[in-house]
Amino acid sequence: MPDPLNVLFVSAEAEPLVKVGGLGDVAGSLPRALRSLPLNDAGGRAIDVRLVIPFHSVITHRLPDLQLIGNFQVPHPSGPIPARVFMTTINQMPVYLIEGPPILSGTTVYSTNPIEDGEKYIFFSLASLELATRLDWKPDILHFNDWHTAIAAYELANRRKTSSSYARIKSVLSIHNLPFMGGGAETVVRSFGIPPATDDRLPVWARSFPLPLGLLAADHIIAVSPTYAQEILAPEFGCGLQDFLKTRSDCISGILNGIDEKGWDPSTDTALAGNFSVSELDQRLINKKSLLEEFQLPYSPNIPLLIMIGRIDNQKGMDLAIEGLRMVTDQPWQAILLGTGDPLLESAARSLEVELPDRVRAAIRFDLLLSHRMYAGGDMLLMPSRYEPCGLAQMIAMRYGCVPVARETGGLKDTIRDNREPGGGNGYLFKEASPAAFTVALLRALAMYPNRPAWQAMQIRGMTQDFSWKQSARAYAEIYLNLQEREPC
């Protein structure tokens, strides 16, 4: 049997140890899915994926069987910085945690100070490179994620030129959210002695930003949906890097994220008032009634409940939803909005509740268990995102029988079929990022809702889609294997 393909998956966060956003979901699920791939789905080779994350202070109490496995120094022009590596096992997967002064100095996973985050994540990135050559287990692939670890792809390319320890290691860099490039950390990059890029393809302003440097040097780039992989090549979504990214288009793939189908299963979800499945959709109403009672809103079978879950910011289109809802107050609906973020948009959500106290509730907080209850009790999920690299909420919502109303962008376009399509769809899409376009799609959904047979058919189409990681894991494995068989792009 061929030797396993060894992959070290490098991430700022990973569930179940620490999760702030969608990256935590991906890093917690994708490595496990890759390890579970049958041999015939991975070119006849086992994929031995291991995870490395920073040893954030918020996760120190959640680690079983923790072992200190090594100490080393991370080079720095002002003097080496000590690093310690711990190891634990989660779901039979080895997990490494890196500790050092820049990581210990932080009290949160991410801060609002770009210098503080720069020092933490540049240190972590370089420490991950050191770790890769110090383990008895030798990685063939280093898989980096977003700006927090991208500088390691750039430094790996530099070290391959002079060190045999790194010569055979290939790199993959995933883009989960292109606008977050590590801006403000340029001085930290320079302070670690990492030279700026000299490649004329990169804009001058980007030549010391962590993410652009990683995108320049990575052997392969993965965007987290096929549509987003195309969108970043255009000015609207390319964030000033579109012309550079076009020069690397042969090395860019789009692979849709999956969801943890065991963690998000309405038939077994312990957070719900009542469990249900696609064959017993009538039981779903228990959750709607319970949720409306929780928020002191009246229940009526003829009034659809709209939900919006996630970060409250400009990207997610909360302002479009709020203005759009104001435009359709002549229609029957209720709405619950959950999330935190931009204080101005939080205030706007509260103001909508004050304006429409008989139909709107704004839960301005992070509440994972409430999100489960909302997916199970809501009739429609609002996702008017200005851009959405992949999005998980729409996949979770459909699994729970909640129909998405979303902008046709990124992963939303890849996962939602508009109900006007032949054979029926599983949601409603609109193109223009405006309240007016959003309301047109919403009005189509509101008009369909009273037609219970047609609505249930749409729910069933959504609930029976395969949003697991299995198919995506096969696509990642194919990229890893191809990297082993060819020269980098």
Strand partners, 81: 74
User: Are the CB atoms for 193 and 75 separated by under 8 Å?
Assistant: yes
Give SS3 for 237: helix
Q: Stretch 294-314: mean pLDDT, rounded?
A: 95
User: Are the CB atoms for 76 and 39 separated by under 8 Å?
Assistant: no
pTM of the model: 0.93
Same domain, 71 and 32: yes
Alpha carbon distance 153, 143 (integer Å): 9
Same domain, 213 and 242: yes
pLDDT one-digit tens code per residue, 62-92: 777 899 999 999 999 999 999 999 999 998 9
Q: Stretch 346-370: mean pLDDT, rounded?
A: 96
Same domain, 148 and 22: yes
Alpha carbon distance 37, 49 (integer Å): 11
Same domain, 295 and 233: no
Q: 287: domain range?
A: 281-463
Which helix (H) or strand (E) element contains residue 350? helix 343-355
Same domain, 242 and 127: yes
CA atoms within 13 A on the CB side of 333: 25
In three-state form (DSSP H/G/I as H, E/B as E, the rest C), the secondary structure along 105-127 is CCCCCCCCCHHHHHHHHHHHHHH
What CATH number is associated with residue 49?
Answer: 3.40.50.2000
- Whether residue 219 lies inside any domain: the answer is yes
User: Are the CB atoms for 271 and 369 separated by under 8 Å?
Assistant: yes
Write down how long the chain is.
489
- Whether residue 450 lies inside any domain: the answer is yes
Same domain, 177 and 152: yes
pLDDT one-digit tens code per residue, 464-478: 999 999 989 999 999
> Which is more confident, 1 or 393?
393
Strand partners, 5: 47
pLDDT one-digit tens code per residue, 173-224: 999 999 999 999 999 999 999 999 999 999 999 999 999 999 999 999 999 9
Q: Stretch 445-459: mean pLDDT, rounded?
A: 97
Same domain, 197 and 303: no
Dihedral sign (CA 168, 169, 173, 174): positive
Q: Token digits for 233?
A: 């090549």
What pLDDT is stored for residue 78 in this prediction? 94
- Whether residue 371 lies inside any domain: the answer is yes
Q: Stretch 440-468: mean pLDDT, rounded?
A: 96
Angle between helices 470-485 and 22-35 (to 10 degrees): 70
- pLDDT > 70 fraction of the chain, expressed in percent and rounded: 99
Alpha carbon distance 257, 259 (integer Å): 7
In whole numbers, what is the pLDDT of the chain averaged over residues? Answer: 95
Using the predicted structure, report yes or no on whether residue 487 has a pLDDT greater than 80. no
What pLDDT is stored for residue 489 in this prediction? 61
Same domain, 376 and 434: yes
pLDDT one-digit tens code per residue, 237-248: 999 999 999 999
Region of 222 on the Ramachandran plot (φ > 0 left; ψ -120 to 50 alpha; else beta):
beta
- Whether residue 370 lies inside any domain: the answer is yes
Same domain, 48 and 193: yes
Using the predicted structure, report yes or no on whether residue 26 has a pLDDT greater than 70. yes
Same domain, 150 and 72: yes
Same domain, 158 and 61: yes
Same domain, 122 and 192: yes
